[in-house]
A and B are shown apart, each in its own frame.
Chain A
């Protein structure tokens, strides 16, 4: 009997190719999207989870602003770890990282760059539960000048040689020599803090040329501190105790802790080790994934119920032949499983094919395979359960038909069932319209940000990265002379319009900015409450960036290449409580134990991008520079193009620094890169919107075919009585228009609320224009009508003779 059932089921699938195709396609798109999204969600949620990770916390600083404590930097002080450990017995151990970013690694004369690593305490292995492939975890990070490499980096530097005990130089040729004491075991862990190498923290003491002797002080917070905490600790209580713990040197700061596992999605503080994920985005995508999955199941229910009408006669015959209700249900379920099974297989295929591009797109490395089978099982379990439930409804509808009626060709369509299906369609369009509004709003916001003037001209400005100088000493005369020589050479290149040096630039990284926790205003009052940021530039920077001065002007150039003159933005002047910009010129402020004279006031520009507001900022005159900025000439550019220009600049660079490498960033691209995540989010929104529209259309298609079957006789009668094709079309389509209208009315408040939430993440928001909603509704309507009309047109043009022949 079962083989017969299976035979009937397969034949049926093959006979109704269009129906099977739509069903399988709809389901597999749904399942594939769901699985991809869940992979992403799982990935985002899996950050920093390992054995014991729930007992690891990171310390960060709270700052007092206007009498209130706000979450400040993710960075803490070098003494944070030891001090808190001594104070609180609950803290079992601490681990400090000091990020060393973008350094050069030298093996003999071979240069390896773009590596990033940290100074780390030996507790690293215990607290982060890491293991060494080679070397001894108990001693590897003990001695100064010890270095541990990841497998990948070791492979890159040493190839097939055994790296243990070999020496490596860091930075330029003046740098210290390290001994490789271990190779990290690759554990494919997701972590918010990624290191290619680790240097023993004790190196720090010996490494004065790099940092100066600040080891015992509360002066510079550039260290990440992690604690392992006794599992039996009441962490809320501990957190409160840590917050209450006063440090004399830091009257306006206090320590705070957060769980390690929460950092990636929830923390989002200045000076994070890497750009955080966003729990909001994860939630949005999760909801979209669920919507798509549910849509495709609703679809399946819709289509198969519609189709069951056509099978009513078969059911009738079978019942007359003695089939019992359970058998009818069973057969229907079997078919449903067959169809869902095929759909799931197709979906897995789609996931495998789509995964590489999905990975590139989201910039992650997700995988699906035996290794994460435990991660996938619940997802697929859910999918299977959904298939079962969605197969039950059509099965029971089919089994309910009474044979006497179905054999006569009459199908008793229950009005309740029709209401259910209408509800499903309204639900689908409700979701579709919300997604459409989302897509339009996200795009509108991104365009809005792109079009907003930032107060500086970043076009055709290239930043050449100055890594050698960064890690050497600023006062090293050979390097300073090298830069001078290079700048002179640049001036001789015809398409170079202007040059300047700067520590960072608009859109640059947070960690390139200097900061100061206290500043003395010209009137002598001292504000310790607010962290202010500053960076160093050369006098030509202002003209190059096309900044506008509202008062004063750039620094006076000195032969030393630095002075105590500063330029600040309008916001800074307001922050100091000075209302007239001109009044500030020539006044003195004090920070970093030094007096600074205000030379000019800049019109406010967007340094941090448009997600945040404008902050008070100071520009200092100093040679210390990560970047040489080059403004390229428009006219000269036209002839050779950007590439040729860069080749020529690189040639010049290599002439002066033959042993280094050449890196550059276009400032406008860099500035826009901060919207990368939002753009990705926008594109993801678009893709899934299109998919859900596709699925919703399929559902509508199913319902239309159902309606058309149901109203076949009516259409015939009306046509015989003189109705035109257009009138029939109107008759059939009005209902659908009504449903879309209904869905639209419900979707407006929901989408308005959701998009408002999303926009709250931006300091500068686009408006929620009425046309976004109108356009979404209109699009949904057009899609609905297009889908419906295909079938209603077929029905309307059918010869009524066909439908009225019941004799």
Chain B
């Protein structure tokens, strides 16, 4: 078992009222799963992903990740945990505009204290695997959307995470680019055994996964 959410509640207080963002979420994710989270806008998909990614806190419930109880961990410990095991992919890629492709890939490794030689090897490996060696000296603005997201995925994968969290990874892409990214996810999941949780609006993309979770007003339905 990779992670387990037990009775997770998250709310905000607005005008004396408690508005629930997540309501009694129970979820168990095994290693090697490919899960798609679906639901209308505002149903809490991104919030759920952020909670799983430890970027956001919750107000009630328990969260176990591997052998750690995330809800009892201190901020610093928690960030070490996600630094080591989780990679993020965003809809709008969130590459750093001032850095070249190569440097964008290297950036997470800098924060994980890899040595220079290791970093070079890992970046070279990633460029190779994603077939973007020729693009390594380009800036994000010089790439197409699909290529940018490719770099985004490569960056998420570079430190060998156990879990990839993808928030509408194809939301900004055309159908062909979209197809390519989903194929890539599938391959990663099947061949490398990476666990993937993606938020998506598209039934077609959801079909790539092994399990679908539907959210409505913060509840799993």
Contacts and interface: CB of A to CB of B under 8 A. Distances in A.
User: Do A and B make up one complex?
Assistant: yes
B185 interface: no
Contact of B56 (A718, A799, A806): A799
**9 closest Cβ contacts across the A-B interface?**
A722-B111, A722-B83, A721-B108, A717-B94, A723-B111, A801-B55, A720-B88, A801-B50, A806-B92
A800 interface: yes
A653 B94 CA distance: 91
B79 A807 contact: no
Contacts of B95: 717
B158 to A, nearest CB: 9
Nearest to A713: B94
B79 A724 contact: yes
A724 B83 CA distance: 10
Given A713-B94, A717-B94, A720-B88, A807 B111 contact: no
Interface in A736-792: none
Contact of B155 (A721, A724, A806): A721
Given A722-B83, A727-B111, A807-B167, A799 B55 contact: yes
Given A804-B90, A805-B46, A807-B171, A720 B55 contact: yes
B111 A800 contact: no
A724 B111 contact: yes
Nearest to A807: B91
A800 B96 CA distance: 14
Contacts of A718: 96, 107, 111
Contact of B94 (A727, A799, A801, A804): A804
A718 to B, nearest CB: 7
Contacts of B187: none
Contacts of A807: 46, 91-92, 167-168, 171
A716 B92 contact: no
A805 B107 CA distance: 21
B112 interface: yes
A714 B96 contact: yes
A721 B107 contact: yes
A420 B94 CA distance: 27
Contacts of B83: 722
22 contacts: A714-B98, A717-B95, A717-B96, A718-B107, A718-B111, A720-B88, A720-B94, A721-B88, A721-B111, A721-B155, A722-B108, A722-B111, A722-B112, A723-B111, A799-B56, A801-B56, A804-B94, A807-B46, A807-B91, A807-B92, A807-B167, A807-B168
A718 B103 CA distance: 12
Interface string A445-457: 0000000000000
A93 to B, nearest CB: 78
Interface residues of A, number: 18
Contacts of B96: 714, 717-718
Contacts of B56: 799, 801
Contacts of A716: 94
Max chain B CB contacts within 10 Å: which of A717, A721, A799, A800? A721
Interface in B138-176: 155, 167-168, 171
Interface of A: 713-714, 716-718, 720-724, 727, 799-801, 804-807
A151 to B, nearest CB: 73
Contacts of A804: 90, 94
B53 to A, nearest CB: 8
Nearest to B107: A721
Contacts of A806: 91-92
Contacts of A724: 79, 111
A714 B91 CA distance: 15
Nearest to B167: A807
Contacts of B46: 805, 807
Given A799-B55, A805-B46, A807-B168, A722 B92 contact: no
A722 B79 contact: yes
B113 to A, nearest CB: 9
Contacts of B92: 806-807
A716 B83 CA distance: 14
A806 B168 CA distance: 12
A721 B96 CA distance: 12
Contacts of A799: 55-56
A719 to B, nearest CB: 8
A603 B91 CA distance: 88
Given A713-B94, A720-B55, A804-B94, 20 more contacts: A716-B94, A717-B95, A718-B96, A718-B107, A721-B88, A721-B155, A722-B83, A722-B108, A724-B79, A727-B111, A799-B55, A801-B50, A801-B55, A801-B56, A804-B90, A806-B92, A807-B46, A807-B91, A807-B92, A807-B171
A720 B82 CA distance: 9
A128 B141 CA distance: 77
Nearest to A714: B96
Interface string B108-124: 10011000000000000
Nearest to B113: A722
A722 B113 CA distance: 10
A727 B112 CA distance: 12
A801 B165 CA distance: 13
Nearest to B50: A801
Contacts of B171: 807
Nearest to B155: A721
Contacts of A720: 55, 88, 94
Max chain B CB contacts within 10 Å: which of A720, A723, A724, A801? A720
A716 B94 CA distance: 9
A807 B90 CA distance: 10
Nearest to A800: B55
Nearest to B156: A721
B96 to A, nearest CB: 5
A714 B104 CA distance: 11
A800 B49 CA distance: 13
B207 to A, nearest CB: 22
Contacts of A801: 50, 55-56
B33 to A, nearest CB: 22
A697 B40 CA distance: 48
A163 B83 CA distance: 95
Contacts of B167: 807
A406 to B, nearest CB: 17
A804 B167 CA distance: 11
A717 B155 CA distance: 11
Contacts of A713: 94
B126 to A, nearest CB: 14
A96 to B, nearest CB: 78
A724 B96 CA distance: 17
Interface string B72-97: 00000001000100001011101110
A714 B95 CA distance: 8
Nearest to B47: A801
Interface in B10-55: 46, 50, 55
Nearest to A727: B111
Contacts of B98: 714
Contacts of B108: 721-722
B208 to A, nearest CB: 20
Contacts of B112: 722
Contacts of A723: 111
A717 B105 CA distance: 12
Contacts of B50: 801
Max chain B CB contacts within 10 Å: which of A724, A804, A806? A804
A806 B91 CA distance: 9
Contacts of B91: 806-807
A352 B4 CA distance: 69
Max chain B CB contacts within 10 Å: which of A716, A723, A724, A807? A807
A720 B88 CA distance: 8
A248 to B, nearest CB: 85
A797 to B, nearest CB: 9
A799 B56 CA distance: 8
Contacts of B168: 807
A717 B88 CA distance: 9
A787 B183 CA distance: 49
